[in-house]
Amino acid sequence: MTRPTGKVWLIGAGPGEPGLITVRGMSLLARADVVLYDALAHPALLDACAGAEQRNVGKRYGEDSADQESIIQQMIELAEQEADDLRRQAAEELDGARVAAEAQPGEVLVTGTVKDLVAGSGLAFEQRGERELKGVPDTWQIYAVAEE
């Protein structure tokens, strides 16, 4: 299997409040080629990526919605096209749950995506290798939050 050549960035802004997004997140939105967003995306965040193709992949009870597999497949296809792709909520939860399941007691594990998103926070990380995560395509670099 060929590894994707583009990057998929997962950006969260809390409960849809644009003031909670990081500077790095805003920078990534501004230069994105494609943004996959859900119903919690505040219009101001979508304005920040006005030059990008915007795809609503939000889920709402009782409405036609994209299923998680098709959202992940879109991210893979976009990465293979070398597009910078953003997807906020559902993929974050899936990745986070899978990575957390790998942690030992008292250990905090994250993917390289989370490590990149908190750059400048003062947190230190130790590489823990590459792992396959159940239900998530490809392999992922895993890092442990290092004790200070």
> Is 116 a catalytic site residue?
no
Q: Which two tokens stand for residue 69?
A: 């597999």
Residue 50 · residue 30 · CB < 8 Å: no
What span, in angstroms and rounded, lies between the C-alpha atoms of 20 and 132?
Answer: 31
In three-state secondary structure terms, 31 is helix
Which of 7, 33, 59, 115 does the annotation list as catalytic? 59
> Is 59 a catalytic site residue?
yes
What span, in angstroms and rounded, lies between the C-alpha atoms of 90 and 13?
Answer: 13
Active-site residue numbers?
38, 59
